[in-house]
Amino acid sequence: MTAMRVRELEIDTRGRRVVDVTDHVAAFAAECGGAGLLHVFLPHATAGLALIETGAGSEQDLADVIETLLPREDRYRHRHGSVGHGGDHLLPAFVSPALTLAVEGGRLVLGTWQSLVVVDPNRENDRRRLRLSFLAG
């Protein structure tokens, strides 16, 4: 039976709503080598993961869309925390906290412009755990 390799990383999202973690995840895939599936999980109730193009303005565009979709207003029934924090708890319904990526030859299988990002609108928690699990195939 093949053992699953697991690593947990801490990601600092202070001052950024969208944080590129592709290099961290790719380094883990390279360490694992070979082919398989790499599951990426963000065990938080107010953050998610997305595959987007980075470096051309998409990060800010995504942050702006999240702000439009879930504005920081006093409209939510979920009321603890700062004004608008209730919307942070709705984010995982739109931006999943988990993704599974293919790995071939120790390299992530991504499209030419795809990067893996943490999406974190929560201004009350800027330390995020990212759990990586690799299962060789």
Domain borders along the chain are 5-136
For 69, list phi and psi in degrees, rounded to 5.
-70, -40
Q: Radius of gyration of the chain from Cα atoms?
A: 16
2 or 124, greater pLDDT: 124
Structure confidence at residue 12 (pLDDT): 96
Q: How far apart are alpha carbons 9 and 42 in whole angstroms?
A: 10
The fold for domain 5-136 equals: Jelly Rolls (2.60.120)
Structure confidence at residue 1 (pLDDT): 58
pLDDT-based confidence at residue 78 (cuts at 50, 70, 90): confident
**Rounded mean pLDDT of 37-53?**
97
For residue range 94-110, list pLDDT tens digits in order.
999 999 999 999 999 99
Question: Residue 3 above 90 pLDDT?
Answer: no
**Rounded mean pLDDT of 31-57?**
96
The overall average pLDDT reported for the chain is 94
Structure confidence at residue 2 (pLDDT): 67
